[in-house]
Amino acid sequence: MSETEHRRTVVIPGETIVEGDAYLPGEGTEKQGNKIVALRYGLSEESGKLVKVIPLSGVYQPRRGNIVIGKCSLITFNGWVIDIGVAENAFLPIMETPKFVAKDRLDEVMKIGDLAVVQIMGVNGRGIDVTIKSRGLGKIDEGFVFKINSNKVPRVIGKEGSMIKIIRDYTKCNITVGQNGFIWIKGDKIEDELFAKKAIEFITENSFIDGLTEKVEEWFKKNGGVKRE
Amino acid sequence: MTPKNFKRPDGRKLDEMRPFEAKVGIIPNADGSAMYKSGDTIAIAAVYGPKKMHPQHSQNPEKGTLRCTYNMNSFSVSERIKPGPSRRSTEISRITEWALEPVLMLDKFPNMVVDVHINIIQADAGTRCAGINAAAMALAHAGIPMKEMVSSISVGKLDKTIVVDLSKEEEDFEEGEGPTDIPISMTHSGNITHFQLDGKIDSKQLMEAIELAKKSCEEIYEVQKQALKNSINLNGGED
């Protein structure tokens, strides 16, 4: 919550957020005459001229460029089908792997039931295409994965990753947050990993509090966390 | 038209609704949920989805589907009703879909379905209206894109008198012309999405009834709005 964001209120569908010709309708809004009307339930936010509605509830909507965590549910002749917890299945073609994979060796990269961090390349009428070509993507070998409400993901990440950085400083765990609400924690010790999970649960339970980053630091100190290099 | 000595059984004014309240987010497992209570009628609604439509042949590649299930619990009335779908509940399920679909923007969810489960846990007339009110809130809570909210109320004619929000006792009214029950659902801007009429009424009185419904829906809308806004606890910390 920075200075540029102001006047955040809960809006319901059909409610007029602002009136006047100076505004532009953003996500979740529509222009009706000179009014900007909300089309969904959420938190309205004005950043400059743009007015948008931030979702507070509902299922995750896949978007291009999102990094998500999913489970391999099927191997086809030319790729893998990944279940990322949305209505459409995500497809990872053989071409989107970082190195060459023979067509009969697909299960050496990923077997059914394996978890993977993938990036969404595109969402079209037939389904979702994903890739593991970039850094940080690919099969998950160690650590554990759990799920939170996908609407709380922005708070867990924090502004420019500030929240994740705090958790990493205190637990020395590697944390990957999928936009679909799945979180992968990998640390040296299981205690550290569980501590990080507890911290994330604390964030999700208090996601509406202002100045959450400081609150989380306080929480770490109270629960015996030590900042480590 | 109204006889001077006309009195409603529970002493309400002609345009007075039963005390009503709404609450959002009552079912943590659902993607969206809401409760609507009007007098002794309590309806709960849970929304799941949008999710993939199964079986595949029911998928619509043009737009998403809304699937409502209305169910009256066997303990909702004093005389136990047989559980399971019935002619009546199937009809009301369909009516609810038709009442809500015009405001939903389902074209963003091809091949998908939004499931709405409405349960009446206590019934005292006006259950379909309570169900629609709860379902509208639950759909909004689930983050489904909607153009507007829908509010629903039943207006009635007892003998020759137009009254709002009939109770079971009034529905069983038997004097004079008997009871006429008119459940109406409308959007906030006043467009009617659902209209039923059980009984007889002349066109002049019908207009009167619609006006009364409009006024009542406005009140319900305010309660729905407040319920949705109150379900987010901003902890007073927002600017």
Mean pLDDT for B150-173 is 92
Q: CA A59 to CA A148: how far, in whole Å?
A: 12
Q: Are residues A16 and A84 in the same domain?
A: no
Q: How much is the pLDDT for A2?
A: 43
- Regarding the domain with residue range B20-228, which homologous superfamily does it belong to in the CATH classification? GHMP Kinase, N-terminal domain (3.30.230.70)
A120 and A163 both lie in a single domain:
no
Question: Could you tell me the two tokens for B37?
Answer: 């209570």
Residue A61: closest C-alpha in chain B: B50
Asked if the structure places residue A228 within a domain, the reply is: no
Arithmetic mean of pLDDT, B16-29: 94
Residue A208 has pLDDT above 90, yes or no: no
- Same domain membership, residue A157 and residue A130: no
Please report, for the domain that includes residue A112, its CATH number: 2.40.50.140
Report whether B115 contacts B31 (CB < 8 A): no
Structural domain containing residue A186: 144-222
Average pLDDT across chain B, whole number: 92
Band the pLDDT of A87: cuts 50, 70, 90.
Answer: confident
Average pLDDT over residues B29-51: 95
Task: Provide the CB-side half-sphere exposure for A67 (13 A, CA).
Answer: 18
| Residue of chain A nearest B234, judged by CA positions | A208
| Partner residue opposite A125 with nearest CB, options B110, B148, B225 | B110
Taking the CB of residue A228, how many other CB atoms lie within 10 A of it?
Answer: 10
In a mutagenesis test of the A interface, which of B53, B217, B230, B238 is the best target, namely the one with the most A β-carbons within 10 Å?
B238
Number of domains composing chain A? 3
- CA-nearest residue to B110 within chain A is A125
Q: Is there a domain that residue A91 lies in?
A: yes
Better-predicted residue by pLDDT, A57 or A66 = A66
Report the alpha-carbon angle B52-B58-B61, nearest 5.
70
Same domain flag for A71 and A132: yes
What is the distance between the alpha carbons of residues B89 and B85, in angstroms, rounded to a whole number? 6
**A–B interface: beta-carbon pairs under 8 A:** 90
Same domain, A17 and A75: no
The reply to whether A61 falls in a domain is: no
Q: What is the pLDDT of residue B1?
A: 59
The four Cα atoms B49, B50, B52, B54 give a dihedral, to 10 degrees, of: 60
- Is A192 inside any structural domain? yes
Stronger pLDDT, A92 or B7, i.e. the higher one: A92
- Portion of chain B with pLDDT greater than 70, in percent: 95
Q: pLDDT tens for residues B88-126?
A: 999 999 999 999 999 999 998 988 999 999 999 999 999
- Do A129 and A189 fall within a single domain? no
Q: What is the pLDDT of residues A126-159, one digit of tens each?
A: 789 999 999 989 999 999 899 998 888 988 998 8
Chain B's closest residue to A88, CA to CA, is B52
User: Would A201 be classed as within a structural domain?
Assistant: yes
3-class SS shares of chain B: helix, strand, coil, % to 5:
30, 30, 40
Record the tokens describing residue A2, joined without a space.
Answer: 């920075």
Partners of A208 on chain B (C-beta within 8 Å) are 232-235, 237-238
Select from A139, A167, A184 the last residue of a domain. A139
Q: For residue A82, give every residue at least 6 positions away whose Cβ sits within 8 Å of its Cβ, in sequence order, or none.
A: A70, A71, A72, A73, A89, A90, A91, A92, A116, A118, A130
> Touching check for B62 and chain A: CB below 8 Å?
no
Domain-terminating residue out of A139, A156, A185 = A139
Contact A55 B143 (CB under 8 A): yes
pLDDT in tens, A160-199: 889 999 999 898 899 999 999 999 999 998 999 999 999 9
Asked if the model's pLDDT at residue B164 lies above 50, the reply is yes
Query: What are the pLDDT digits (tens) for A7-17?
Result: 678 999 999 99
Where is B35: in which H helix or E strand? strand B32-38
Give the pLDDT confidence score for residue A22 in this predicted structure.
87
Strand order in the sheet with A174-177: A144-147, A182-186, A174-177
Distance from CA of B171 to the nearest CA of A (A): 33
The phi and psi torsions of B191 (rounded to 5 degrees) equal: -80, 135
What CATH number is given to the structural domain containing A31? Answer: 2.40.50.100
